[in-house]
Chain A
Amino acid sequence: EAGVAQSPRYKIIEKRQSVAFWCNPISGHATLYWYQQILGQGPKLLIQFQNNGVVDDSQLPKDRFSAERLKGVDSTLKIQPAKLEDSAVYLCASSPVTGGYEQFFGPGTRLTVL
């Protein structure tokens, strides 16, 4: 089966600019996760969707980050405006059910904010 797809793979922007990331989960997977992975650290959950509803967004900086999952399939994560500390790899993952099952990760988007 096809894996989780993400685009773009790399993005370089100036601070205060906007950026958007796209994720296409594995077909049929109800749960979708966005993680932020800062260099040298473990993935930190930003937001979790079940179908098109938000399950957890407690660590999403809502003043600058937003995410949506249209029709319970693809998802976009947006940062507006970006700060230097947003430089990280943004990983999308999906799983067939919530909890207790493997999360399948995409290749990630490496964001550099200058």
Chain B
Amino acid sequence: GENVEQHPSTLSVQEGDSAVIKCTYSDSASNYFPWYKQELGKRPQLIIDIRSNVGEKKDQRIAVTLNKTAKHFSLHITETQPEDSAVYFCAATDTSGTYKYIFGTGTRLKVLA
């Protein structure tokens, strides 16, 4: 079945450094890839997304890259701040099918002040 692998499961960085989280998907029909941030005890919230016709998308300190050939996509956070500490989930879906989102297992990011 469809599967999304996410690495690493935990990531600690110093404030101001960059953080990179990687996801690999199995369904070649996937064409929409959102990233969600979930702070402790709170609901997941979309922070950035990318469609399969785009290789990279950037929004201030956050960027996502997509390699369709290799079936992987990555989240890049630059100049990390303590408020970036949270669990980040990637997801993949095929918008021409049932639009079922397959989530990764999550990455717990800790930004050390």
Interface residues of A (CB under 8 A from B): 4, 31, 33, 40-45, 48, 55-56, 91, 98-100, 102-103, 105-108
The contact size tier of chain B is: 20 to 34
Interface residues of B (CB under 8 A from A): 4, 6, 31-32, 34, 42-46, 49, 51, 89, 91, 93-101, 103-106
Q: How far is the CB of A4 from chain B (nearest CB, A)?
A: 8
Of all chain A residues, which has the CB nearest B94?
Answer: A99
**Do A100 and B32 touch (CB < 8 A)?**
yes
Interface residues of A, dominant DSSP = loop
**Do B100 and A42 touch (CB < 8 A)?**
no
**Do B43 and A56 touch (CB < 8 A)?**
no
> Cα distance A12–B46 when bound, in Å?
29
Looking at A42, A43, A91, A102, the one whose CB has the most chain B CB atoms below 10 A away is A42
**Do A99 and B43 touch (CB < 8 A)?**
no
**Do B100 and A56 touch (CB < 8 A)?**
yes
> Cα distance A82–B3 when bound, in Å?
27
> Cα distance A36–B6 when bound, in Å?
18
3 nearest A-B pairs in the assembled complex, by CB-CB distance = A99-B99, A42-B103, A99-B95
Which A residues touch B42, using CB under 8 A?
A: 107
**Do A100 and B95 touch (CB < 8 A)?**
yes
**Known A91-B44, A99-B96, A103-B46; further 18 A-B contacts with Cβ < 8 A:** A4-B43, A31-B99, A42-B6, A42-B89, A42-B103, A43-B44, A44-B103, A45-B101, A48-B99, A55-B98, A56-B100, A99-B32, A100-B95, A100-B99, A102-B49, A103-B34, A105-B45, A108-B43
**Do A102 and B100 touch (CB < 8 A)?**
no
> Cα distance A48–B44 when bound, in Å?
17
